[in-house]
Structure 1
Amino acid sequence: MSRPTGREPRRLTRWWRRRSLRTRLTVIAATAIAVSVFMAFQVASELLDWELRDTAEDQLRADSRVLATDATRAGLAQVQLPPYPGSGRLVRVILPDGSTRTPAGQPALPPVSEHAGRVAQGASADLMESNDIDEDGYLIYTLRAGDGAVQVARVANDSPINRFGFGMLLIGLLCVVGGALVGRTVARAGLAPIDRLTAAAVRVAHTQDLDAHIPDEGGGEIRRLIQSINDMLAALRDSRRAQKLLAEDAAHELKTPLTSLRLNVELLIRLDRRGTLDSALPAESRTRLLNDLGAQVAELSTLAAELTDLARGAVTDESTDLLDLADVVVAAATRARSRVPDIEVALDVTSVWVSGRPAALQRAVLNLIDNAGKWSPADQPVQVRLRAEGATAVLEVDDAGPGIDAADVPRVFDRFYRADSARALPGSGLGLSIVQRVADAHGGRATVARSARGGALLRFDLPAAAPPGRITRPTAGS
């Protein structure tokens, strides 16, 4: 059974793909030169052959006219035939009866062809024919003379073409070798920036030094590639710095609740081992301690969830949908009431459609309501207003608390930032940072101001979208 014919091309393709770019350029340059030399040889050979043939035919016609003139004047049977020189020209006279005369010692020419016989009979004036079916081919010219004809012939000599072809072959080989050397030199010079760029990238990979800057050199595609890699290094550098900052801040924020939780648990374990738990901790104190432990665990859970959400950044599997932001606000307010039953939320929302991720938007709204609930007095509700302003969906969360100091306003949306007045309240300092990230991811913005009630007014703006199935009616006169 024969093997598939497509295996060899695939093997050749794999071999070619394994070659370096420098080798590919060298092979391409040598191949291009070889093809060019071959095409030039073919064209030059044809031109030389035509030129030699035309020259030989002109010489045969001239010799035939001289011999025909002599034959007409002296007669075909008596005309003096030139002696055979040993090589080159051959002559022959065709008599009226079809017989022939040739000089003494001259090699025999091929038999008179039918077309040449017709010339001798007067049916045609002349004839140029080639008999090159073997190595002893002849170029024969037949010319009418008297009652017969004369013929002058030359051996078809390919030696000039052969010598020319051999010379072109040597020149072609030299050109191919020179082209390969030139191609490799050009490839080495042209790919030198790529080599230096590769070495720099390998060095960065080995040293993990993202502060390294690859020198900008060259132009065109090489320069754009270097700039792109430098931009990528800058992005990785910023990402690593952000991760480091997040880890340091997270470690700092986790230290306090973990320390408090560990001390309370160690106290319970120590008293339990001594058997003095009931005597050392009355029921009221034990209940208060357990409540503190539950609050600390809840705070750690909230902090872990917010850290996970913040660390993921914009990477999420949640798809973007066209949704009514009013539904998201109502769902977030319901969750806020269930988490903190004492919080009172007053809703004033209108239907505004946006394009976004439902879970992320609900988390942002919930963080805004939770933040306002921590500051708003028990007898003052958190006011949540949603409206459309032109092409913008505007969400405002208003509390009646003490407001935000002017010194704290620039850092309200920073990660882990908590004002001095807020350090005694529960929270991780990540809620408003998540709000800012969600706003940025949706092409919106989050801002803070002072409300008319004296508290904080947090505003969350998003680009509005056209409701689904909306039909624009033509105006009058259109």
Structure 2
Amino acid sequence: MSRPAGREPRRLTRWWRRRSLRTRLTVIAATAIAVSVFVAFQVASELLDWELQDTAEDQLRADSRVLATDAERAGVEQVQLPPYPGSGRLVRVILPDGSTRTPVGQPALPPVSGRAGRVAQGASADLMESNDSDEDGYRIYTLRAGDGAVQVARVADDSPINRFGFGMLLIGLLCVVGGALVGRTVARAGLAPIDRLTAAAVRVARTRVLDADIPDEGGGEIRRLIQSINEMLAALRDSRRAQRLLAEDAAHELKTPLTSLRLNVELLIRLDRRGTLDSALSAESRTRLLNDLGAQVAELSTLAAELTEVARGDVSDESTELLDLTDVVVAAATRARSRVPDIEVALDVTSVWVSGRPAALQRAVLNLIDNAGKWSPADQPVQVRLRAEGASAVLEVDDAGPGIDAVDVPRVFDRFYRADSARGLPGSGLGLSIVQRVVDAHGGRAAVARSVRGGALLRVDLPAAAPPAPIARRTVGEDTAAR
């Protein structure tokens, strides 16, 4: 059964990817040296072959000229041929009739070629040719002499090339082995910081200890990698610290409403078991107790929702879109009225377009209105103003309450922070911190000041965006209220 054509390359690719970086570098170094040695061998062999051929041909021409001089003096039929030395040079005389004369005991040369015969007939002066048809190849030089021609030949000797190739093979093997060892050593030295980095990462993963930074060593890419991992560890430390603080603050904030809720429920259960619930608590007391229970449950629900919002770590999963901030403000004011019917919101808004996340921005505006509603007297509305100011969309929410003390201003947007004057009011201390996070995510700025009515003025500046088309400016007057 034949295998699919692409299976072997894929298998080789998977095998290569499973090798360690050190092994890959070693294989690459050895392969590069082997290829270099092979190319060098090919080039050197060609150069050596050309050099040997040139030398052999020069020697053949020199020997032929000596023999041709003798043949011209004595005639090709009578010239004295040198005895065969037993190896190396071979000679032959071509007579005018095409026959040949060779020394006694000399091995037979290949038959005279047609081109060599034409040299003997005077068609050309000389000829250099090769004959590889027999077991031994010959390099034959034919030179015109008198009425015929003389030939000097040598057996083509590949032994120098073979010896050179064998030597290059040994050198190549040594170079490949040496290259593999050098590549292994270089890879080990070069990857030593990576090994230490890996060990440190494994240690952090096993111990969960993020406090120790990895030593900054090496240079170039290695150093940048170590610095990046140290920055990642620092970010993880900050994230863990933030999670721990969030858990501690959440536990602290949950303790008071849970304790109060537990005490009230235990009181009801104890009186019910004794059968004295109706006699021990008047109708007014029961109503007040039930109202307290409802308020505590609502406070816990609000706190749980805000904790979930803060713990998510991002503003929202919704996408950014181009929107009119007026629609967001009006929707937030409507929600504030539905949640707390007694709150009165006076709107003075101008159409301003921004690029943002609608739900996150609405939550931020709602938190601002809710915060102002807690402080504003019943006969004084919460004023919400929206306008364009330069390249910014400016949102201001102010109340007629007592305002924020100067000592509390720097911490207004901190998580769970509540001024001493706000301890008795409902809330978790997370609303304004969520506002700060939403504003930061949109590239804006949040600030607090004192309003002209003596209360708190919370201001949010967001980068404005060009509207998708010419939009008529619309204004809702100060006397317009969302009730």
Per-residue displacement from partner, 1:272-325 (whole Å, max 9, x unpaired)? 122221121222211211111111100000000000001112253111111111
- Tell me how far 1:267 sits from its aligned partner: 1.2
Secondary structure in structure 1 of the residue aligned to 2:214: coil
| Residues 315, 438 of structure 2: 8 Å contact kept | no
Secondary structure in structure 2 of the residue aligned to 1:136: coil
Per-residue displacement from partner, 1:229-252 (whole Å, max 9, x unpaired)? 010001000000000000000000
Identical residues among aligned pairs (%): 92
Per-residue displacement from partner, 1:79-109 (whole Å, max 9, x unpaired)? 1000000000001111111111100000000
After superposition, where does 1:21-40 map in structure 2 within 5 Å?
21-40=21-40
Secondary structure in structure 1 of the residue aligned to 2:34: helix
d(CA) in 1 for partners of 2:435, 2:252:
22
| Residues 315, 437 of structure 2: 8 Å contact kept | no
- Tell me how far 1:135 sits from its aligned partner: 3.3
d(CA) in 2 for partners of 1:225, 1:126:
73
Per-residue displacement from partner, 1:33-80 (whole Å, max 9, x unpaired)? 111111111111111111111111111111111111111111111110
Secondary structure in structure 2 of the residue aligned to 1:150: strand
| Residues 448, 459 of structure 1: 8 Å contact kept | yes
**Compared with structure 1, are the counterparts of its residues 476 and 446 closer, same or farther at alpha carbon in structure 2 (3 Å cutoff)?**
closer
Structure-2 residue corresponding to 1:428: 428
**Compared with structure 1, are the counterparts of its residues 121 and 315 closer, same or farther at alpha carbon in structure 2 (3 Å cutoff)?**
farther
| Residues 450, 456 of structure 1: 8 Å contact kept | yes
- Tell me how far 1:402 sits from its aligned partner: 0.6
- Tell me how far 1:351 sits from its aligned partner: 0.3
| Residues 141, 153 of structure 2: 8 Å contact kept | yes
d(CA) in 2 for partners of 1:288, 1:296:
12
Q: Which moved more, 1:246-255 or 1:3-12?
A: 3-12
| Residues 375, 401 of structure 1: 8 Å contact kept | yes
**Compared with structure 1, are the counterparts of its residues 473 and 253 closer, same or farther at alpha carbon in structure 2 (3 Å cutoff)?**
closer
d(CA) in 1 for partners of 2:473, 2:404:
47
**Compared with structure 1, are the counterparts of its residues 476 and 383 closer, same or farther at alpha carbon in structure 2 (3 Å cutoff)?**
closer
**Compared with structure 1, are the counterparts of its residues 475 and 90 closer, same or farther at alpha carbon in structure 2 (3 Å cutoff)?**
farther
Q: Which moved more, 1:108-117 or 1:265-274?
A: 265-274
Tell me whether 1:73 sits opposite 2:73 in the alignment: yes
Secondary structure in structure 2 of the residue aligned to 1:383: strand
Per-residue displacement from partner, 1:354-385 (whole Å, max 9, x unpaired)? 11111111111111111111111111111111
Unpaired segments of 5 or more residues in structure 1?
none
| Residues 316, 360 of structure 2: 8 Å contact kept | no
Structure-2 residue corresponding to 1:388: 388
**Compared with structure 1, are the counterparts of its residues 240 and 64 closer, same or farther at alpha carbon in structure 2 (3 Å cutoff)?**
same
**Compared with structure 1, are the counterparts of its residues 262 and 476 closer, same or farther at alpha carbon in structure 2 (3 Å cutoff)?**
closer
Structure-2 residue corresponding to 1:446: 446
Cα RMSD of the aligned pairs, angstroms, is 3.2
Q: TM-score, normalised by structure 2?
A: 0.96
**Compared with structure 1, are the counterparts of its residues 476 and 309 closer, same or farther at alpha carbon in structure 2 (3 Å cutoff)?**
closer
| Residues 34, 176 of structure 1: 8 Å contact kept | yes
d(CA) in 2 for partners of 1:190, 1:72:
75
Secondary structure in structure 1 of the residue aligned to 2:191: helix
Secondary structure in structure 2 of the residue aligned to 1:465: coil
**Compared with structure 1, are the counterparts of its residues 37 and 315 closer, same or farther at alpha carbon in structure 2 (3 Å cutoff)?**
farther
- Tell me how far 1:114 sits from its aligned partner: 0.9
Per-residue displacement from partner, 1:149-185 (whole Å, max 9, x unpaired)? 1111001111111111111111111111111111111
**Compared with structure 1, are the counterparts of its residues 390 and 130 closer, same or farther at alpha carbon in structure 2 (3 Å cutoff)?**
same
d(CA) in 1 for partners of 2:340, 2:32:
79
**Compared with structure 1, are the counterparts of its residues 457 and 315 closer, same or farther at alpha carbon in structure 2 (3 Å cutoff)?**
closer
Secondary structure in structure 2 of the residue aligned to 1:151: strand
| Residues 444, 461 of structure 2: 8 Å contact kept | yes
**Compared with structure 1, are the counterparts of its residues 243 and 165 closer, same or farther at alpha carbon in structure 2 (3 Å cutoff)?**
same
d(CA) in 1 for partners of 2:69, 2:420:
130
| Residues 313, 437 of structure 1: 8 Å contact kept | no
After superposition, where does 1:25-424 map in structure 2 within 5 Å?
25-314=25-314, 316-424=316-424
**Compared with structure 1, are the counterparts of its residues 475 and 423 closer, same or farther at alpha carbon in structure 2 (3 Å cutoff)?**
closer
| Residues 315, 360 of structure 2: 8 Å contact kept | no
**Compared with structure 1, are the counterparts of its residues 377 and 474 closer, same or farther at alpha carbon in structure 2 (3 Å cutoff)?**
closer
**Compared with structure 1, are the counterparts of its residues 134 and 264 closer, same or farther at alpha carbon in structure 2 (3 Å cutoff)?**
farther
d(CA) in 1 for partners of 2:201, 2:125:
83
- Tell me how far 1:472 sits from its aligned partner: 15
| Residues 321, 356 of structure 1: 8 Å contact kept | yes
Per-residue displacement from partner, 1:128-153 (whole Å, max 9, x unpaired)? 11002343111111111111111110
**Compared with structure 1, are the counterparts of its residues 7 and 473 closer, same or farther at alpha carbon in structure 2 (3 Å cutoff)?**
farther
**Compared with structure 1, are the counterparts of its residues 352 and 473 closer, same or farther at alpha carbon in structure 2 (3 Å cutoff)?**
closer
**Compared with structure 1, are the counterparts of its residues 181 and 357 closer, same or farther at alpha carbon in structure 2 (3 Å cutoff)?**
same
d(CA) in 2 for partners of 1:74, 1:339:
135
Per-residue displacement from partner, 1:386-431 (whole Å, max 9, x unpaired)? 1110001111111000111111111111111111111111111111
**Compared with structure 1, are the counterparts of its residues 92 and 178 closer, same or farther at alpha carbon in structure 2 (3 Å cutoff)?**
same
Secondary structure in structure 2 of the residue aligned to 1:335: helix
| Residues 91, 150 of structure 1: 8 Å contact kept | yes
Secondary structure in structure 1 of the residue aligned to 2:396: strand
d(CA) in 1 for partners of 2:124, 2:292:
129
- Tell me how far 1:121 sits from its aligned partner: 1.2
d(CA) in 1 for partners of 2:470, 2:92:
103
Per-residue displacement from partner, 1:7-29 (whole Å, max 9, x unpaired)? 11111111111111111111111
**Compared with structure 1, are the counterparts of its residues 410 and 474 closer, same or farther at alpha carbon in structure 2 (3 Å cutoff)?**
closer
d(CA) in 2 for partners of 1:335, 1:464:
24
| Residues 322, 356 of structure 2: 8 Å contact kept | yes
**Compared with structure 1, are the counterparts of its residues 317 and 134 closer, same or farther at alpha carbon in structure 2 (3 Å cutoff)?**
farther
Secondary structure in structure 1 of the residue aligned to 2:460: strand
Secondary structure in structure 2 of the residue aligned to 1:157: coil
- Tell me how far 1:456 sits from its aligned partner: 0.5
d(CA) in 2 for partners of 1:13, 1:227:
32
- Tell me how far 1:474 sits from its aligned partner: 24
d(CA) in 2 for partners of 1:317, 1:9:
43
Q: Which runs of 4+ in 1 moved over 3 A?
A: 470-477
d(CA) in 1 for partners of 2:346, 2:313:
31
Per-residue displacement from partner, 1:435-460 (whole Å, max 9, x unpaired)? 11111111011111011111110111
| Residues 351, 475 of structure 2: 8 Å contact kept | no
- Tell me how far 1:264 sits from its aligned partner: 0.9
Secondary structure in structure 1 of the residue aligned to 2:47: helix
